[in-house]
Amino acid sequence: MSMITAKDGTQIFYKDWGKGQPVVFSHGWPLSADAWDAQMNFLGERGYRVIAHDRRGHGRSEQTWTGNDMDTYADDLAALTAALDLQEAIHVGHSTGGGEVARYIGRHGTKRVAKAVLLGAVPPVMLKGAANPEGVPMEVFDGIRAGVRRDRSQFFKDLTIPFYNANREGAQVSQGVREAFWLAGMQGGIKALLDCIKQFSETDFTEDLKAIDVPTLIAHGDDDQIVPIGNSALRSVNFVKGAELKIYAGGSHGLAQIQAEAFNEDLLKFIQK
């Protein structure tokens, strides 16, 4: 397996396919790089170099006890781009991965970055607070932590229902997609997965968004039950100068898998602009 070594010695798994301008993918919680297979195959067949890593503690990367924080995730991404000497890269982040991309740019700048795509992303901040009264209450995230601690296998199976809008009339998600989600979640280290909940829920990415100075696509499903659009994309677009907003009618949090054809075409159009 292909690995890079992060600055604290942690082994980070990555996939690197094809040749051409690099497109780098950052996945959501509790998944792995495999969540991007539809996009990587699509763009790879069209002449792009496609790269995705498993976040530390997730998938095939080393299961870590410490370092499971957004700054370190961003630094791991920077280590990957440096190790592969990527130039003019397009960074695509979903959910927690969207936060990772924003923090990466906030900490490391855009000298290696050509464009950014935030899909169903957690910025600016998910947690409800005095400055974010429309946010998600802490009780929701405490419930996620409790579910992972008590029986993460069943919790991940149950989570696929709102994640892919399987509870909506006419839902198109297959049992296979739901089982793949469960498998990815079970491959991660429980300590790292628990730590990551705090990172995707409580991190404030407002200043990171303001630091993005490359063309940016902010894409979101308007029926996202995991990261509600009103508290995320519709706010983030106000912080990223010149950002383009794409809303998918009825779109779920997992639209990159179950609406892959539509998203892939939109992603390609944005990359080619």
Give the residue numbers marked as catalytic. Answer: 95, 224, 253
Return the exposure string of 231-243: e unless at least 16 CB atoms fall within 10 Å of the residue's CB, then b. bbbebbbebbeeb
**3-class DSSP assignment, residue 129:** strand
Could you tell me the maximum CA-CA distance found in the chain, to the nearest angstrom?
Answer: 47
Beta-carbon count within 10 A of 248 CB: 20
Please state, in angstroms and as integers, the Cα–Cα distance from residue 174 to each residue in 43, 161, 164, 165, 177, following that order. 23, 11, 9, 11, 5
SS3 content of the chain, % helix, strand, coil (to 5): 45, 20, 40
- Residue indicated by tokens 């370190």: 72
State the number of CA atoms in the 13 A half-sphere of 127 facing the CB.
15
- CB-based contacts of 132-141 (< 8 A; 24+ apart in sequence): 132/231, 134/230, 134/231, 135/231, 136/201, 136/228, 136/231, 138/201, 141/197, 141/198, 141/201, 141/202
Beta strand pairing call for 22-26 and 244-248: unpaired
